[in-house]
Amino acid sequence: MKILLIGHGKMGKAIEEYAIQRGHSLVATVDVNDTLMPTLAEQADVAIEFTHPEAAFENIKFCLEHNLPVLSGTTGWLDKLSEIEKICQENDGTFLYASNFSIGVNLFFKLNKFLAKLMSPHDLYKPSMVEVHHTHKKDAPSGTAITLAEGVIEEHIGYSSWKNDSNVKDNEVPITSERIGEIPGTHKITYKSEVDQISIEHEAYSRDGFVQGAVLVAEWLPAQKGVVKIDDFLKL
Ligand SMILES: NC(=O)C1=CN([C@@H]2O[C@H](COP(=O)(O)OP(=O)(O)OC[C@H]3O[C@@H](n4cnc5c(N)ncnc54)[C@H](OP(=O)(O)O)[C@@H]3O)[C@@H](O)[C@H]2O)C=CC1
Ligand SMILES: O=C(O)C1=N[C@H](C(=O)O)C[C@H](O)C1
């Protein structure tokens, strides 16, 4: 498979290495000072986009307007997600966004929803979330934390929004973001009552899970149409 790799930072470099290991080739790596040229899109089977919250929208739009299936793992740009989904439909394209490409985290998303549903009738237990990442991370809260909070909101009658603060209203899920050293990504949800607490946690040991998931999804993506989800790939 021929991959157009957009973003050549921590994720881009690791994806390049793993994609080559799996027998793929790169049409090009496009980083911040490079230009996305239509000829690059013509030569590629799929684009993988891991860049910056400010850059993701234009990069994805370019791919969709040049008939190139594209997956994006960039977080922090979700205010424009519905616009991209519209552009995908208008161009009869293929697009997938996932806040986290690790299989473990996508199973954790399901566990989170299950726990929220169980907790919904028990308002003595108050949820809160902590996400911990490396100090280079540009966005807070993490995209994964937002997906987890959305899962709670979907399943728990007592919650309708989230806030990146520990000081919240009754109907808000509090998310605390910590930035420490080189931590790849840890997410913990706790339901606390006056007498006890229940926590679930996912801890990534490295970026390998995100990288492997992104390349496996990229292999599957060109045969799909429209706005697709990682749940479709994982059959969750
Ligand atoms: N969904 C998932 O599973 C995962 C998502 N992520 C997300 O992916 C994104 C990238 O993460 P990471 O690789 O760690 O970040 P890095 O900062 O290491 O890499 C991003 C790269 O993209 C470059 N870049 C910036 N603007 C553009 C542009 N317009 N076109 C092309 N390249 C550009 C940056 O250059 P410069 O540094 O000069 O700005 C940098 O080289 C983040 O949003 C992060 O949250 C990360 C891990 C897993
Ligand atoms: O920036 C990162 O590193 C990560 N970003 C994603 C997020 O914001 O959820 C996924 C993972 O946690 C690593």
CATH no. for residue 144? 3.30.360.10
Around ligand 1, the residues with Cβ closer than 6 Å are 6-12, 30-32, 50-52, 55, 59, 73-76, 98-101, 139, 143, 210
The ipTM of this complex is: 0.99
- Between the CA atoms of 151, 156, 160 and 161, what dihedral angle is there, to the nearest 10 degrees? -40
Does 89 lie in the same domain as 46?
A: yes
Q: Among residues of the chain, what percentage have pLDDT more than 70?
A: 100
Q: Which residues are catalytic?
A: 133, 137
Let me know whether 114 and 191 are in one domain. Answer: yes
The whole-number average pLDDT for the span 73-79 is 97
Residue with the nearest Cα to atom 4 of ligand 2?
Answer: 185
Please tell me whether residues 186 and 229 are part of one structural domain: no
Asked if 90 and 51 sit in the same domain, the reply is: yes
| pLDDT at residue 175, as a whole number | 98
Q: Which residue bears the tokens 């000829």? A: 39
Which ligand 2 atom minimizes the distance to the CA of 101?
Answer: 10
Same domain assignment for residues 86 and 117: no
Confidence of residue 195 (pLDDT cuts 50, 70, 90): very high
Helix axes 143-155, 103-119, angle to 10 degrees: 30
Residue 142 Cα to ligand 2 middle (Å)? 6
Containing structural domain, residue 175: 103-203
Helix, coil or strand: residue 7: coil
pLDDT digits (tens, 9 = 90+) for 104-139: 999 999 999 999 999 999 999 999 999 999 999 999
- CATH number for the domain spanning 52: value is 3.40.50.720
128 shares a domain with 85: no
Sheet containing 94-97, strands listed edge to edge, beginning at the edge strand earlier in sequence: 25-30, 2-6, 46-49, 70-72, 94-97, 226-228
- pLDDT for the residue 207: 98
Ligand 2 interacting residues, C-beta cut-off 6 A: 75, 99-100, 133, 137, 142-144, 185, 210
Q: Ligand 2 atom closest to Cα of 99? A: 9
Are 199 and 109 contained in the same domain? yes
Question: Tens digits of per-residue pLDDT, 12-34?
Answer: 999 999 999 999 999 999 999 99
The mean pLDDT of 155-166, rounded to a whole number, is 98
115: CB partners within 8 A, 6+ apart: 189, 191, 198, 200
Q: How would residue 146 be classed by pLDDT, with cut points 50, 70 and 90?
A: very high
Q: Across the chain, what does the average pLDDT equal?
A: 98
Place of tokens 């790849």: 184
Same domain membership, residue 143 and residue 192: yes
For residue 142, the one-letter residue type is S
**pLDDT band (50, 70, 90) for residue 187:** very high
Sign, CA dihedral 142-236-72-95, equals negative
Structural domains in the chain (count) = 2
Residue with CA closest to ligand 2 atom 5: 142
Partner residues linked to 187 by β-bridges: 131, 202
